Amino acid sequence: MAAVMIPLDRLRCLSIIAHIDHGKSTLADRILEITGAVEMRDMRAQYLDSMDIERERGITIKAQNVRLNWKDHVISLIDTPGHVDFGYEVSRSLAACEGVILLVDASQGIEAQTLANCYLAMENDLAIVAAVNKIDLPAADPDRVSEEIERVLGIAAEDVLRISAKSGDGVPELLDAVLEQIPAPKGDADAPLQALIFDSYYDPYRGVVSALRVFDGTLSSGARLRFLQANSVYDAEEIGVRLPVPTPVATLGPGEVGYLIAGIKDVGEARVGETVTTNARPGEVLTGYRHPKPMVFCGLYPVEGDEYADLREALEKLRLNDSSFTYEPETSGALGFGFRCGFLGLLHMEIVRERLEREYDLALVATAPNVEYLAHTTSGAVEVVDNPSSLPPLNDVVSIEEPYVTITILTPTEYVGTLMELCQGRRGEMQKMDYLSEERVELVYIVPLGEIVMDFFDQMKSRTKGYASLDYERAGYRESKLVKVDILLNNVPVDAFSSIVHRDKAYEYGKRMVEKLRELIPRQLFDVPIQAAIGGRVIARETVKAKRKDVIAKCYGGDVSRKRKLLDRQKEGKKKMKQIGRVEVPQEAFVAALKLSD
């Protein structure tokens, strides 16, 4: 492994910015194939999306990177997470690049999140090579989409390339444009080392594997390294590049992207945004590091109480891989021992929950997601409330603050009315409405985060037939008139069902919540009253009538296997029910609030 430095002018580092389904993974596949990085016969669809959940959902959660050769140049392609919850990770991936490929579906046009990421790229002075994709589809309108790109981003429509990632048409030209338009990196191989970690994951055999970009200095195999944010020291056990097969190298110089294995056991020690330098001759900290801060919280409980230890172990292991979620033990009167978990957003929450259930074989109850409130109490203290049931009693609370976000929605003009109605219904205040073109509008609102964690995204999608897209960022805390609505099941308050809602919406919320629960809770052997209450005052009531019949009519010789399976399924279903007092409650009831349609 001779240390051969590639001349800086032969290097390029870039990311692809695209909306979900606009063909980023297909383009990455095609580039791998055209540059010869992956033989055709080894090609599997969406090579870089390696996690099962990523393939199933068609999104990228963990950033991957790959080194390619194109016309005597070395291109490092950094794949960015493709979801609104992972904005910070995207920003760090972009920080590792000199340019981006903006990929837009030729029939869909540019979407909110793509726009947000493009603005981010522009703020970081990255070069943008724009391309419209899927030009071979019948609905493609590359002229219109190119003009939209010109109007919104100021990239001349005539400079927008036209490609089909699926067939490969235009992809070589796109790679040529990358060499021409994206600047080569700058850096000094002899300066103190400065390398940026833009992704880390935990490998059970190798420990933490980090993806990083060297800006200055030289990263050498075996070197003693200092992690400036974590303030820790590790030895570089192995460094290498992905071709995409991981291939060890002796050194990585300025402008190079590769991986680092340093015997680290916890991804929290090698977080996204971390600066790696040498212990002997430390460089400066790179700017832009942010400690991930969860925005959405929920309780996770094992259905079976005796799986609590298994859940804790699973959370510990998962956190080795994902340092952006948090968990703390909590106890619920209804659900027993569990954990209050914090996530970057709703998708992140779903992914963590799904991985716990799938990879660790746990049956879990997840409570409805909520945000973090600040309660100002009569004693002058400020309590951070990340669980509605822990809100101090009404009499002790002077005021409550809740987090707000600025949301940006890009939508076809015809849906502006229904989206304004949706945003106003969620206590949103309009900040801006811009016509990007005759057909497309940008809406900007400030909205309480608590109003969008429920079902805002689904509502937006259904009201616009999927054509609108959303991006959001934090906008601080504001005081609101909030109350806690409790739910009583069989006359006993169930803490896991408590919610904090705006005073003006509490009655309607309580009424719909008990109606929804009546639908979701199966009939039991006795009548089950369901009530919504504010501070002991009942505001809504429904009853699940006792069931009288639950029997298979016929069971004879030819039926026995079938009936046994039927009863086995019923038995398994029963095991998945959470016993609350005498009432059996299905798991999905705990997120009933998510399903309250407008």
- Binding of residue 309 to another protein (CB under 8 A): no
Q: Choose the stretch contacting another protein; rule: CB under 8 A; options: 75-83, 146-154, 254-262, 561-569.
A: 561-569
| Cβ nearer to another protein, comparing 309 with 381 | 309
CA 542 to chain CA centroid, nearest Å: 36
In the three-class reduction of DSSP (H, G, I as helix; E, B as strand; rest coil), residue 351 is classed as helix
CB of 573 vs another protein, minimal distance in Å? 8
Give the nearer residue to another protein in terms of CB position, either 305 or 329. Answer: 305
User: 203, 479, 552, 598: which one contacts another protein (CB under 8 A)?
Assistant: 552
Q: How far is the CB of 306 from another protein (least distance, A)?
A: 9
567 makes contact with another protein (CB under 8 A) = yes
Binding of another protein by 572 (CB under 8 A): yes
Minimum CB separation of residue 582 from another protein in Å reads 10
Please identify which residue in 204, 379, 550, 597 interacts with another protein, judged by CB under 8 A.
550
Task: Give the residue among 393, 313, 392, 324 at the shortest CA–CA distance from 352.
Answer: 324
Could you tell me which stretch among 64-72, 203-211, 311-319, 544-552 binds another protein (CB under 8 A)? 544-552
Residue 549 touches another protein, criterion: CB under 8 A = yes
Helix, strand, or coil (residue 34): helix
User: Could you say which of 561, 578, 589, 593 contacts another protein (CB under 8 A)?
Assistant: 561
Q: Least Å distance between CB 363 and another protein?
A: 9
Q: Which of 52, 559, 588, 598 binds another protein (CB under 8 A)?
A: 559
Residue with smaller CB distance to another protein, 307 or 486: 307
Selected from 435, 570, 588, 598, the binder of another protein by CB under 8 A is 570
With contact defined as beta carbons under 8 Å apart, do 112 and 466 qualify? no
Question: Does 358 engage in binding with another protein (CB under 8 A)?
Answer: no
CB count within 10 Å of CB 510 equals: 23
Cβ closest to another protein, residue 306 vs residue 438: 306
Torsion of CA 212, 215, 216, 221, to 10 degrees: 20
Q: Which of 4, 139, 536, 548 binds another protein (CB under 8 A)?
A: 548
Q: Closer to another protein by CB, 488 or 555: give it.
A: 555
* DSSP 8-state assignment for residue 568: H
Which residue from 154, 380, 393, 557 is in contact with another protein, where contact means CB under 8 A?
A: 557
Angle, CA of 261, 267 and 268, to the nearest 5°: 135
**Helix and strand element counts for the chain (H, E):** 13, 33
Bridge-based pairing state of the strands 482-489 and 429-435: unpaired
**Residues in Cβ contact with 108 at an 8 Å cutoff, skipping those fewer than 6 apart:** 19, 21, 22, 145, 467
390 or 587, CB closer to another protein? 587
CB of 576 to another protein, least distance (A): 11
Q: With CB under 8 A as the rule, give the number of residues binding another protein.
A: 27
The β-bridge relationship of strands 578-580 and 583-585 is: antiparallel
* Pairwise CA distance, residues 586 & 578, whole Å: 6
Q: Name which of 364, 254, 438, 422 is nearest 588 in CA terms.
A: 364
Least distance between another protein and beta carbon 492 (Å): 19
| Residue 585: CB minimum distance to another protein, A | 16
- Phi, psi for residue 480 in degrees, rounded to 5: -140, 155
Half-sphere exposure of 212 (CA within 13 A, CB side): 34
Q: State which residue, 537 or 554, has the beta carbon closest to another protein.
A: 554
Residue choice 303, 555, 591, 596 for contact with another protein (CB under 8 A): 555
Selection from 440, 412, 467 nearest residue 152 by Cα: 440
Q: Check residue 186 for interaction with another protein (CB under 8 A).
A: no
Give the residue, chosen from 565, 586, 590, 595, that forms a contact with another protein under the rule CB under 8 A. 565
573-592 mask for another protein (x: CB under 8 A)?
-xx-----------------
Question: For another protein, which stretch binds (CB under 8 A), given 30-38, 279-287, 464-472, 557-565?
Answer: 557-565
Q: Cβ distance 156 to 181 under 8 Å?
A: no
Q: How many C-beta neighbours within 10 Å does residue 512 have?
A: 19
**257 neighbors 67 (Cβ within 8 angstroms):** yes
What's the first-to-final CA gap in the chain, in angstroms?
63
Residue 563 within binding range of another protein, rule CB under 8 A: yes
Using the minimum distance from each CB to another protein, give the nearer residue, 260 or 362. Answer: 362
Alpha helices by DSSP H, listed for 154-276, are 171-181
Selection from 485, 496, 510 nearest residue 367 by Cα: 496
Nearer to another protein, 434 or 527 (CB): 527
d(CA 221, CA 260): 9
Alpha carbon distance 283, 216 (integer Å): 9
For residue 476, how far is the Cα from the chain centroid? 20
Peptide bond into 244 cis (omega under 30): yes
* Site track for another protein across 508-527, x = CB under 8 A: -----------------x--
Closest distance to another protein from the beta carbon of 194 (Å): 51
Is residue 537 within the footprint of another protein (CB under 8 A)? no
Q: Which residues bind another protein (CB under 8 A)?
A: 525, 547-565, 567-568, 570-572, 574-575
